[in-house]
Amino acid sequence: MGILGMNQSCDSYLDVVPDNVSTIDHAFKLRNEAEKYLFTLYSYLPSNGSVANIGMLAGDEIWIPYQTSIYSNAFEIARGNQSVSNAYVGSWNSMYQAIRHCNIFLENANDPTKIRDISDAERRRWIGEAEFLKAYYHFLLVRMYGPVPLIQTNLGIDATKEEVAIPRNSVDECIAYIVELLDASADKLPMIITDRTLELGRLTRPIAKAVKAKVLLTAASPLFNGNSDYANYTNKDGKLLFDQEFKNEKWVQAAAAAKEAIDIAEEAGHKLFTMPPTSFSLSEQTMLELDLRQAITERWNEEHIWANPNSTTADLQLQAMAPLHVDHNHNNARKILSPPLKVARQFYTKNGVPINEDRTLSFRDDTQLRIATHEERFHIAEGFETSRLHFDREPRFYASLAFDGAVWYKYDSPSNSDENTFVLRSKRTDYAGSTHAFHFNVTGYFIKKLVDWNQTMSSSGASYRVYPWPEIRLADVYLMYAEALNEAYGADNDEVFVYLDKIRGRAGLEGVKESWTTYSTNPSKFTTKEGLREIIHQERLIELAFEGHRLWDLKRWKKSAIYLNAPITGWNMAGENAISYYQINTVYQQRFVAPRDYFWPLSENAVIQNKNLVQSPGW
Amino acid sequence: MRKPTIYHKYYFNSLFMLILCMCSIQFISAQTGQVRVEGTVSDGTGPLAGVTVSIKEGTNLGITDANGRYSIDVAVNVTLVYNYVGYDRIEKRITAVTPNAQKVYVLNVVMEQLGGEEIEDVVVVGFGTQKKGSLVSSITTINPKELKGPTSNLTTMMAGRISGMIAYQQSGEPGADNADFFIRGLGSFGAGKVDPLILVDGIESSPTDMARLQPDDIEAFSVLKDATAAAVYGARGANGVILITTKTGAAGKTKFSFRAENRMSSNTRNFQFADNIRYMELANEAALTRNPLAILPYIQTKIDRTAAGDDPLLYPNNNWIDMLIKDYTFNQGYNINASGGGERARYYVAGTYNIDNGVLKVDGRNNFNNNIKLKNYSIRTNVDLKLTPTTDAAIKVYGQFDDYSGPVGSYDENNNRIHGGQHIFRSAIWSNPVMFPAVYPASFSPYTEHPLFGGAVSGLGSTSLLTNPYAEMVRGYEVYKTSTLQPQLELKQDFSFITPGLSARAMGYLKRYSYFNVVRQYNPFYYRSYLNPVTGEIDLSVLNDGGPNSIGVTGSEYLNYSEGDKNLDSRMHMEASVNYAQRFGKHDVSGMLITILSSYQTGNAGSVQSSLEQRNQGLSGRFTYGYDDRYLAEFNFGYNGSERFASGYRFGFFPSFGLAYRVSNEKFFESLHNTINDLKFRGSFGWVGNDQIGRREDRFFYLSEVNLNDGAYGAVFGENSFYYRPGVSISRYANNLITWEKSRQINLGMDMSLFNNSTEIIVDAFHQKRYNILEPRSFLSPTMGLMGGTPQANTAEAESKGLDASINYNKSFSQAWWATLRANFTFATSKILKRDELDYPENMSYLYRTGHSVAQTFGLIAERLFVDDVEVANSPQQFGTYMGGDIKYRDMNGDGSITLNDMVPIGWPTTPEITYGFGGTVGYKDFDLSLFFQGSARSSFFINPENISPFVLNGGAQNGLLSVVEESHWSEDNRDAYAFWPRLSPQFVQNNTLRFGPNEQYQSTWWMRDGTFLRLKNVEIGYNLPTEKSRRFGVNRFRMYLSGSNLWVWSKFKMWDVEMGGKGLGYPVQSVYNVGILVDF
């Protein structure tokens, strides 16, 4: 009957898959496809220009109303809810995924039989980019988790349980490998992006050098350099993960790397940003404020060594901006990003020294009120009564923060000038008051620094001019260099002051030596390594405020345990008049457990799954 | 690789040749030494048409005509066999006969009907039928009449009626009310298929296809439970097989049967709200108890004025369930069929029309109907043809069509579809009852044509509005239509002329399914009311007119249209078999070999890999041997291939063996025949497979699945973000070694008939070991950097075992009284034998899934509620922000904090381990009364606390207050540590809801409830008009009946119908009261 014969063609009947179903091999046949793979590597860069930036919401620099406008996992850490069962904003999985992609890319790009239609020069540059990213992703892991397993090459998916159980490498091994990759990549990367239309935002040599400086600075810092808290932190086989010996050499290397990064950056044309003239006639004060604000928000400005166009800032600006008129809708200017009072206090006086050191000015009582004069009108609305704390402050205070009564000059100023321009009013019944169910400010401070001055608002809506997020600006590298120099060689090194004073000069302040000598109650502070260290730390916190650096710097300096155990305070946002509004209100009592909270926990199951992996200390 | 289509052609050619070959057999017997035999076959009351007359050794000679007459030429000394389905077979030996004057030997035959009016002794088995007496395997058959009930959904009738089947129904929404059912419980876990293979006339069907079948049209319903029964289905039979055959025509005068039912349907149980004064008071309490400085949501004036009830527009007071849901609705069902035919052609044609309505209210201001209305029609034509004396053909065409119209559905947080009815019920509880009336009287705005829906802003300064569930319900409607068409052709050729008992059969079908839906809705205008200070009267102002202060989606008076889904699929199947059956003295031998090919393709597959055809190919066989009807043996096998696996891992061999011993046919047993009429012991052992493993998208495990244009992994560069390229993502890594899941099954059974066959007992015990279950590799740690799901392997094992039993009792006590009683019981429990799990340290060994049921829930143990904040401070760290009155969990591993690693197995499995039913019918003269109870035990379910958290504002939703929460909650005045509800809160309390992300919600014993219940499932009172009377109207049978279903339920759980389990806030299971007539003429 032939029935059985019908079964002859068995296997072929079941071959339903045509030949060209896409598999991973297709990704490296042609340049066009391989470029997509290269972009995949970039796609793992964190979106730091948003409220997802761990540095912004996991620490003590910015507070937000809890679970109303946005739900942030990073903020759970700030609230002390980090746990092993549910490690918030861990990047263990995503960074290792990114590293696997880097390895796949490098394996294929290094194989001349793959991507046949690419030029040698471009292949070399792509390899450099992949090497950089592989190093950078490892660095992000080290910063969060301390010693981590280095994945230099990929394992196959058929790897055995033993092969997969990779232990942590020591911090020194991690840093050495990261630096080695960064050095390898720097030579392959271009000095500048010549095709600005298509490629701006891709990696360059100044970026590689600046990141190298940052890596070495981190490695030299107290958290990593001879930290005795981790004397017993070993792998299962007894391998010590933190070298217990403090090595000044690490600071020396960090200083050299920072200097190299500065030289390369300046060679590539980077310099501190100053605002070009505008079509409006603006006061000196306003122009200075714009120098400082636009250094961050001006797109692709010369100060940005590395700006990431994949992390744009529309939402970040929306969350920072406040309504500046009764017609402005709370939805278009949500103002939830609320710096605590301690961050407002951290800025210098107009004399360039800390508020508690200024011998000419007293800031003892924050709730003391004062009325703004005509001369102060570019910072505080004339005749407005507000806290003493808001008067006589350095330009960066007014450029970074807005507060009840603060002037917020923007391009769409109704007066077309900085006279009679927008004023923020945030008492409860005012237009920026905390009346909205979701979008409200909890401290009375608003981040002016993150909003581009081209932001416009009307009763019908708002438009935000987005800017690629500046990952590294030249000011950061100057401060790294100053810090490393002081640590490596002490305070009697003039170059420290050269770079500190460049930053201060752009901010309209006199140099460190002049300021302290003239105004400080501790005029010789800068003459000791420790005193200068304090000055450099504060300068860094002020200059880089709200850019997501403070969390990491405090960790690096082992200062988190001090800063993050202080209460988060702000003004009484329910207050409807000056008396009731200018009461200090405790928003949250933060808790930081040292040394546990310096590093992220691994998930509970990660250490059960991988027998050779040890949990971060304290967790 | 060659093009697959070539093989299609090849196959078609082969099949065509086979059919040709069958048709071309012209069988002309020799005419010598013959006699003509003529006569009439009757059943004592009338002629029987369609009786086949054949020579015992095989040759088919003819069938009786409409008058029961036949006429054949046969040789002397043969035995004639008269066969008719449902009747005892008759054998007549033609020896030295004396023909009459016309040289015709007249032989009239009276056949006796078997076991009442339905066929009882033939059981439908895989690719054929077997005599019940000679069954070796474990098969449940059910008389289709038992599946009749006041419902248009067949699946809702199965629970408790079919031994070996676990079934439960979680929704009563027309179009979404299919019951879930599993043969012998859940045997496996993971993302693959766990429910049975359903074959209707051999056509692979979906549960919905089965739901739409009418019991009137069903000839036989079998459930294949063990390996011997299911092995012939090879790689697809591991989860059990349901075989349904539809009726075929009987030759004779055309018989009509008509059934009409009118059903009244209402919710078995509605959830109960507290009154709205308490709602507002407790909302204030919720705010204050969490934050003493909180602003109260409701001021005292509002509460007082609402209580006074003097101004329902300014101070609304809604019970949304009352406003949205009707008390009852009416449904209709009609079925008509006709059968008849003659010697060469018989037919059965049937048509069905069901209308099922929802219980939603309709707004008269709309000219469309937003209530649910599901109409389904089907038409069935089964034609049997006698092409030659030895060739039969059957042509079956079935078309099934659903027309649905109902409220606009939605999607849940996991993007699963929420049906319209469920959406409305959920909206009813997820809406604030006191902020706005459903709709304002039209007199407020005489010139507007749209309804003036009530609305309110969801919070001060918010840009969204609270949900108005009434507006949600009446704002539009969704329509979907489905059609299923399945033509089928079957040929049977008798090859007795080659060797007696040999026959062949070929069958092919094509099944096309299509679905589309369309949504038409307007955006409602919402109004808020206020007291006009000038006139002192109530004025309305529109909230969403699109102006500068408009809030929420701008209203529109016209309907919008949105494109819906359009799903199409096609299945092609062919099978061809040879059969052999013969008896040599005491030896009964039969054999069957069958080869199948099937191919399935879907229209909107979503990816290249998914779009490729799904193919199955196989060769199966069955060989049976019986000695003296006492010793029976059976060997079955399936040899199957599936395209999902790599070449080399595609084909699997699934053998099974069965033995039965019919003790009652032994000589020594004869003395017992007065009490035990029949006793048989059965045993079987074998393997079956399941190739439907993994997720639906995991089509080809041996290929990697790569998206070379994944926007989520793209990047953009350039001064103005000009240059964007998508990235690459991998959702699966290639794995050549993956193959099917296998099931090794052992079944031991006993069939017994007692007391003149009045009592029939069938008991089966089974053990099944499932291995090669696909699961992710536990040790592939994140540092591997793999994307997509963790690579998987066929590593897990599970066993299931249990018992199913049924007992039937039939007895006529006198001329007037008769009774039938039925009971059946299914118990199936499962255990994971092996899983690729992490190596937990000793103090966490409770985390191992191995050793627990495949449907075991793991969760936290809730000890009680925290008494106060002091206890909170001195207890292990729990989740998020919590205080006294929130749930206190047990720290299992003693690490001082409650984590997900403190989860232990809690409760029974979520799928019940026991399903049972019992009932019966008592008849007196022309009246009969049936009762049927159905129950379920050993299951747990979990209340989702987020769904009933009162006062929580979640987007536009703001939950209502269930009366259970009002009656029992922790409060500062009443610190009841065991209250139903923890401390009230205006926000979700993560510690109590255990929600950690969109797809991460965990369970605890606090919200666990026992799913045990017993319900009065069906009642029917019928009256049959006596035949003498009905004949006067030309009617053979006339029956009127009143019936009801889901009339009562016994359960400890009272919040909603317990059978709905965790889906309790959806569309309730329905109680139905029905009036029906049945007319045969």
Give the range with max mean pLDDT: B224-228, B371-375, B649-653: B371-375
CB of B1044 within 8 A of CB of B149?
A: no
Shortest distance between the Cα of B882 and any Cα of chain A, in A, equals 12
Mean pLDDT of chain B: 84
The residue of chain A with its CA nearest to that of B578 is A3
Residue B413 has pLDDT above 80, yes or no: no
Give the range with max mean pLDDT: A175-184, B152-161, B379-388, B392-401: A175-184
Q: Is the peptide bond before B297 cis (omega within 30 degrees of 0)?
A: no
Shortest distance between the Cα of A132 and any Cα of chain B, in A, equals 16
Q: pLDDT band for position B16 (50/70/90)?
A: very low
What is the Cα–Cα distance from B511 to B485, expressed in whole angstroms? 6
The residue of chain A with its CA nearest to that of B18 is A1
Shortest distance between the Cα of A184 and any Cα of chain B, in A, equals 23
Residue B488 has pLDDT above 80, yes or no: yes
B88 Cβ neighbours under 8 A, 6+ residues apart? B111, B112, B113, B114
Q: Which of A8, A10, A591 is the best mutation test for B, with the most CBs of B within 10 A?
A: A10
Burial environment of residue A577 by CB neighbours within 10 A (0 to 12, 13 to 18, 19 or more) = exposed
pLDDT score recorded for residue B414: 67
Q: Which of A10, A14, A38, A459 is the best mutation test for B, with the most CBs of B within 10 A?
A: A14
Q: pLDDT band for position A255 (50/70/90)?
A: very high
B778 touches A at CB < 8 Å? yes
B901 touches A at CB < 8 Å? yes
CB of A209 within 8 A of CB of A257?
A: yes
Shortest distance between the Cα of A586 and any Cα of chain B, in A, equals 14
Residue B712 with chain A: CB contacts under 8 Å: 43
Local structure of residue A612 (DSSP, 8 states):
T
B791 touches A at CB < 8 Å? yes
CB of B29 within 8 A of CB of B54?
A: no
What is the Cα–Cα distance from B34 to B990, expressed in whole angstroms? 91
Q: How far is CA B528 from the centre of its chain?
A: 45
Shortest distance between the Cα of A617 and any Cα of chain B, in A, equals 15
Tokens of B740: 């099917």
Shortest distance between the Cα of A487 and any Cα of chain B, in A, equals 35
Q: Mean of the pLDDT values across residues A229-258?
A: 95
The residue of chain A with its CA nearest to that of B642 is A14
* Cβ distance of A39 and B714 shorter than 8 Å: yes
Alpha helices in B380-527 (DSSP H): 420-429, 469-474
Q: Which residue has the tokens 């009366």?
A: B963
The residue of chain A with its CA nearest to that of B881 is A81
Q: Mean of the pLDDT values across residues A216-226?
A: 96
Q: Mean of the pLDDT values across residues A277-285?
A: 92
Tokens of B801: 């075992």
Residue B608 with chain A: CB contacts under 8 Å: 21-22
Q: Which of B644, B707, B717, B795 is the best mutation test for A, with the most CBs of A within 10 A?
A: B717
pLDDT score recorded for residue B86: 63
pLDDT score recorded for residue A21: 66
* Cβ distance of A199 and B718 shorter than 8 Å: yes
Burial environment of residue A177 by CB neighbours within 10 A (0 to 12, 13 to 18, 19 or more) = middle
pLDDT score recorded for residue A286: 95
* Cβ distance of B7 and A202 shorter than 8 Å: no
B499 Cβ neighbours under 8 A, 6+ residues apart? B58, B580, B582
* Cβ distance of A436 and B461 shorter than 8 Å: yes
* Cβ distance of A300 and B719 shorter than 8 Å: yes
B566-601 per-position pLDDT tens digit: 889 999 999 999 999 888 888 888 899 999 888 888
B156-209 per-position pLDDT tens digit: 888 888 888 888 888 888 888 888 888 887 877 777 778 888 999 888 888 888
* Cβ distance of B709 and A200 shorter than 8 Å: no
pLDDT score recorded for residue A552: 96
Residue A307 with chain B: CB contacts under 8 Å: none
Q: Which residue has the tokens 């000219």?
A: B367
pLDDT score recorded for residue A22: 66
* Cβ distance of B18 and A86 shorter than 8 Å: no
Listed by number, the residues of chain B in 1010-1039 with a beta carbon closer than 8 Å to a beta carbon of chain A are none
Residue B709 with chain A: CB contacts under 8 Å: 36
pLDDT score recorded for residue A5: 39
* Cβ distance of A39 and B779 shorter than 8 Å: no
* Cβ distance of A13 and B700 shorter than 8 Å: no
Residue B451 has pLDDT above 50, yes or no: yes
Q: CA A318 → CA A59, A70, A463, B908, distances in Å?
A: 21, 12, 9, 50
What is the Cα–Cα distance from B802 to B182, expressed in whole angstroms? 13
The residue of chain A with its CA nearest to that of B705 is A23
Burial environment of residue B997 by CB neighbours within 10 A (0 to 12, 13 to 18, 19 or more) = exposed
Residue B30 has pLDDT above 50, yes or no: no
Lowest mean pLDDT among A356-370, A462-476, B84-98, B631-645: B84-98
Residue A5 with chain B: CB contacts under 8 Å: 14
Q: CA A483 → CA A226, A352, A489, A557, B681, distances in Å?
A: 18, 18, 10, 11, 90
Q: Closest Cα to residue B834, out of B801, B859, B792, B799?
A: B799
pLDDT score recorded for residue B46: 66
Which of B4, B17, B504 lies nearest to residue A16, judging by beta carbons?
B4
A207 Cβ neighbours under 8 A, 6+ residues apart? A132, A189, A305, A306, A472
**Length, in residues, of chain B:** 1081
pLDDT score recorded for residue B113: 62
Q: pLDDT band for position B32 (50/70/90)?
A: very low
Listed by number, the residues of chain B in 859-898 with a beta carbon closer than 8 Å to a beta carbon of chain A are 877, 879-881, 897-898
Residue B578 with chain A: CB contacts under 8 Å: 1, 3
Which of B459, B712, B778 lies nearest to residue A437, judging by beta carbons?
B459
Which of A3, A161, A199 lies nearest to residue B593, judging by beta carbons?
A3
A14-60 per-position pLDDT tens digit: 777 766 666 777 889 899 989 999 999 999 999 999 999 999 999 99
B498 touches A at CB < 8 Å? no
Which of B720, B722, B779 lies nearest to residue A609, judging by beta carbons?
B779
Shortest distance between the Cα of A544 and any Cα of chain B, in A, equals 24
pLDDT score recorded for residue B19: 46
Listed by number, the residues of chain B in 15-44 with a beta carbon closer than 8 Å to a beta carbon of chain A are 15, 17-18, 21
Amino acid sitting at position B413: E
B397 touches A at CB < 8 Å? no
Evaluate the CA torsion angle B532, B535, B536, B537 in order and state its sign.
negative
Lowest mean pLDDT among B228-232, B356-360, B412-416: B412-416
Long-range contacts of A526-533 (CB under 8 A, 24+ apart): A526/A491, A526/A497, A527/A491, A527/A492, A528/A491, A529/A486, A529/A487, A529/A490, A529/A491, A531/A491, A532/A486, A532/A491, A532/A496, A533/A483, A533/A486, A533/A487
Chains A, B: CB contacts within 8 A come to 258
B561 touches A at CB < 8 Å? no
Output the DSSP codes for B790-855: PPEEEEEEEEEEEEEEEEEEEEE-SSSEEEEEEEEEEEEEEEEEE-------GGGGGG--TTS-TT
* pTM of the shown model: 0.78
Q: Which of B781, B846, B881 is the best mutation test for A, with the most CBs of A within 10 A?
A: B781
B765-813 per-position pLDDT tens digit: 999 998 888 888 888 888 888 887 788 888 889 999 999 999 988 887 7
Mean pLDDT of chain A: 92
Shortest distance between the Cα of B293 and any Cα of chain A, in A, equals 11
Which of B578, B725, B900 lies nearest to residue A36, judging by beta carbons?
B725
